Chains A and B, each alone.
Chain A
Amino acid sequence: MIKLTINKQPYELDVDSDMPLLWAIRDAIGLTGTKYGCGMALCGSCTVHMDGEAIRSCVTPVSSAQGKDITTIEGLDSSPEKNVAEAVQDAWVKLDVVQCGYCQSGQIMSAIHLLNKNPNPNDEDINNAMSGNICRCNTYVRIRAAIKEAARSLNETVTA
């Protein structure tokens, strides 16, 4: 049995220890916000947070996620990153970043991680942090703008 903590919920799963965390989240637990795009940590669609770090769940064996705090896009509300997540998702909506939307959970999870580490990223910081997340609709211009917008609103909150 594999024991996982996803979005603060404990799970005991009867899956192989080599199953990637992605498929445990999607197929065994049934949380489908985290997407499959490449299976090789090349596209970032499967990005989740593990103990606060952004990881590619498609190459993370479920066994190595035991004992860790996993946050998926569905669990942002109850995560320690709640405020940053709210700012990022608000900015994503405000700027209508999405097109097909399939990669956007991963983009948002990476963006939250970036803003947690760097509250004022410039274009280069954003490019560096986000270049592991592919968007075939090429919404990149708006992703950059939305990250800056989220940073601006978070800084405003801090100042106020």
Chain B
Amino acid sequence: MQKDQVINISRRRFLVGTASVGAGLTLGVYLPGCGRKPETPIEQTTTMEPESTDPSVDLQFNAFVRVSPNNEVTIVIKHLEMGQGTYTGLATIVADEMDASWDQVEVESAPANAQLYKNLFWGAQGTGGSTAIANSFTQMRKAGASAKYMLVSAAAKKWNVAMEEITVDSGVVQHAASNNQATFGELAELAAQETVPEEVFLKDPEDFRLIGTVLPRKDSMDKVYATGVFTQDIQLPDMLTAVVAHPPLFGATVKSFDATKTKAVKGVTDVVQIPNGIAVLAKDFWSAKKGRDALQVEWEESNAFKLSSAEILAQYKETAKQAGAVARADGDAVGTLKTAAKTLTASYEFPYLAHASMEPLNCVVQITQQGCEIWNGCQSQTADQFAVANTLGIKPEQVKINTLYAGGSFGRRANPHQDYVVEAATIAKAINGKAPVKMVWTREDDTRAGYYRPFYYHEIKAGLDKDGNPIAWHHRIVGQSIMTGTANEPGMVKNGVDVSSVEGAENLPYAIPNMYVDLHSPKLPVPVQWWRSVGSTHTAFSTETFIDELAVAAGKDPMGFRRVLLKDQPRHLEVLNLAAEKAGWGSPLGDKRGRGIAVHKSFNTYVAQVAEVTVHDDKSFTVDRVVIAVDSGISINPDIVRAQMEGGMGYGLAAAISSEITLEQGVVQQSNFHDYTVLRINHMPLQVEVHIVKSDQPPTGVGEPGTPVIAPAVANALFQATGQRFYKLPMKLAV
């Protein structure tokens, strides 16, 4: 029987007003600390039946739940669904507190409205940093609990019984003693008239019935039967498709162009110059692309960036000879290194990386009488609103955003300069808004347009005492800052250190008494931004392969060596031990095979991975098996945690063994999947196992933390198989 009745309502704090809705109810949940009188929000909704809020309500509210008389519970999702499972995860949290049946739950993407739908960690609406569940866990629980309260309150009045005697189970409200029961739908109209409670009690986690269980994804049917709508799929009356000729070098501009041949292409309607190139618009994609192919452009390249990757590396190596901005300084690392019994040094190189989502970047913009409407797999609604408003000379609240499924992102759609969204808006403006514009980047545009994971160079020196204990660690990192020059700079760049460049290195968990981490952030015109797991994409590799090297130098087992150094880090230790145990660490492997381990925390989630490899006679290798242990606090949906660990690992494996963007005299050498190679199914390990640590800690993200751990695990496994260490990604075995 259920024991979690809604009880003991205090009127002091939360919940604030009702939203009356013709066909059901919308519940407002007040966010503590935001209790000022709201400006009237621009009402935006992607549904066919817009909800009408009462403008006389005196406090701002936050709408997440609707119930219809036909017994559907619609949960409004404030985060972008880009594959990470947020539609399912956030809905699960609401539905659990509400005691709804999973089958009756529908999800809907929230409109752009920072007041209602901001990321509580940021203050602006947006998705990223593996924060979707972490920032809104309590908020979603309250939304569900208050919805349940109103339904129970309505039932109590209808049946003339005490609320405390009412139970709720799977969308059915029941009073056993009087033999009354009703569905949510049957109570919806009455419940809509209830005052929203100011405070609700949340369940004891022991009473969770949906959280922690494997529920089917809410986006599965849409994607298996291809009925889900991506930006690429938007079709509007009279819509034009725009394809853009971008400069061939970063920093080049249009000197002149001749569109005569372009305009002769059937279907081409407009050719317009925009700040970042020339846009060709046509009635369909193919005509626009043919038009662009026929375009004659002369580029002004005198101020363009013309260095090659090898020259960047040489510069970075030179820079690394100087001291950088200090990210961590425990004890006296430099002094201790001089007196250590044994010292080791290593340097590491990491290439630029493109995100290469399956859906190349695109955006649909329609300039309207009210302002403008956007259809996009939108990852930064608030920032996109401001940037587009600035471009079009309108107010941010006049920018209506329909957030659609994104065909991947891995960070790219949250561009800190709103690059592709602004480009689409600029094109719509350039044709005076005469038609809706779908801007489509080709795969080549997507690969070459920049905003890469930065190129990085690391140097690490460490010292062991005579017993093989590490006593000093000096880690120097050189690479472009992704935060400098963005809205995140004030929060993320402190004393010359971009935290995102050193994360995973400056918080190295190993007990080494003298530790020094410093950073150089050279400025280059190659556009850079975050890429799935951000700083950890490079710091996990250098630290976790170097600690392995130290273990071997100390004559110790890499696993046991880590275990000792992590004795005060229980969550690191637990995933490390779990992965090792499940992988059979220490058990013999055959000839030409190797096993390696790595452990890393990112976004407050702890992941350990054990990789097993086989080296072939032609010096190729196979990653046969990966065992993953993860601690991300409470698992909302363990199957989605597993899926993100599997997929995140695969994404990291591509960068570990295959992908790189290189520059030759400033020109990006890659263009499509034949030369920007990514993981295909034949390189996905045949055995991937995920083990989840049972936890009562608050949930943390799982979208990114699986990614950075695989490269060092594979490198350490290859060392065991071959004796070769790896100082450069992607890894290649010496022939």
Seen from chain A, the residues whose Cβ lies within 8 Å of a Cβ on chain B are 15-16, 19-20, 23, 26-28, 30, 32-40, 42-43, 45, 73-74, 89, 92-93, 96-105, 108, 123, 126-128, 130-144
Contacts and interface: CB of A to CB of B under 8 A. Distances in A.
Nearest to B654: A138
A36 B647 CA distance: 21
Contacts of A38: 443, 672-673
Contact of B285 (A16, A23, A105, A141): A23
A127 to B, nearest CB: 4
A136 B682 contact: no
Contacts of A133: 681
A37 B360 contact: yes
A121 B715 CA distance: 32
Contact of A89 (B224, B359, B684): B224
A28 B241 CA distance: 13
B286 A20 contact: yes
A89 B216 CA distance: 14
Interface centre among A32, A38, A89, A141, by most chain B C-beta atoms within 10 angstroms, is A141
A17 B221 CA distance: 35
A16 B356 CA distance: 30
Nearest to B673: A42
Interface stretch (B138-146, B168-176, B400-408): B400-408
Interface in B624-667: 639-640, 643, 646-651, 653-654
B358 A96 contact: no
Contacts of B649: 138
B233 A32 contact: yes
Given A100-B408, A127-B682, A139-B643, A89 B358 contact: no
Given A28-B284, A40-B443, A101-B219, A140 B684 contact: yes
Interface stretch (B31-39, B54-62, B82-90): B82-90
A134 B673 contact: yes
Interface centre among B221, B225, B646, by most chain A C-beta atoms within 10 angstroms, is B225
Contact of A96 (B216, B225, B678): B216
Contacts of B685: 141
A46 to B, nearest CB: 11
A10 B44 CA distance: 40
Contacts of B233: 32
A101 B681 contact: no
Contact of A37 (B358, B647, B654): B358
Given A42-B673, A96-B217, A100-B357, A140 B232 contact: no
B358 A100 contact: yes
Contacts of B673: 38, 40, 42-43, 134
Interface string B339-358: 00000000000000000111
Interface residues of B, number: 65
B307 interface: no
Interface string B669-688: 00011100011111011101
Contacts of B648: 138
B315 interface: no
A101 B284 contact: no
B258 interface: no
A130 B264 CA distance: 41
B223 A140 contact: no
Interface string B355-393: 011111000000000000000000000000000000000
Contact of A138 (B226, B443, B647): B647
Given A98-B217, A138-B651, 8 more contacts: A28-B284, A35-B232, A92-B220, A93-B220, A132-B680, A134-B680, A139-B646, A141-B684
B681 A105 contact: no
A98 B224 CA distance: 7
Contacts of B684: 138, 140-141, 144
Nearest to A74: B226
Contact of B360 (A36, A97, A104): A36
Contacts of B653: 138
A35 B688 contact: no
A98 B682 contact: no
B10 interface: no
A141 B646 contact: yes
Interface in B671-709: 672-674, 678-682, 684-686, 688
Interface of B: 82-85, 216-217, 219-230, 232-233, 235, 241, 266, 284-287, 290, 356-360, 405-410, 440, 442-443, 639-640, 643, 646-651, 653-654, 672-674, 678-682, 684-686, 688
Contacts of A138: 646-651, 653-654, 679, 684
B224 A32 contact: no
A102 B225 contact: no
4 A-B pairs with the lowest CB-CB distances in the bound complex, closest first? A138-B650, A102-B407, A101-B223, A33-B226
Contacts of A101: 83, 219, 222-223, 228, 405, 407
A99 B286 contact: no
A123 B681 CA distance: 10
A39 B224 contact: no
A108 B223 CA distance: 10
B405 A123 contact: no
A109 B582 CA distance: 36
B442 to A, nearest CB: 6
A35 B407 contact: yes
Contacts of A142: 643, 646
B353 to A, nearest CB: 12
B437 to A, nearest CB: 14
12 contacts: A15-B284, A23-B284, A30-B235, A96-B216, A99-B85, A100-B358, A102-B407, A103-B407, A126-B681, A134-B680, A141-B688, A142-B646
Contacts of B672: 38-40, 42
Contacts of A136: 356-358, 408, 410, 651, 678
A35 B235 contact: no
Contacts of B647: 99, 137-139
Contact of A93 (B221, B235, B358): B221
Contacts of B286: 15-16, 19-20, 23, 27
Contacts of B357: 100, 102, 136
Contacts of A99: 83-85, 643, 647
Nearest to A133: B681
A15 B83 CA distance: 35
B443 A39 contact: yes
A43 to B, nearest CB: 6
B359 A102 contact: yes
A73 to B, nearest CB: 4
A27 B241 contact: yes
A38 B677 CA distance: 12
Contacts of B688: 141
A142 B647 CA distance: 10
A93 B673 CA distance: 28
Contact of A137 (B83, B219, B220): B83
A100 B443 contact: no
Contact of A43 (B224, B228, B230, B358): B358
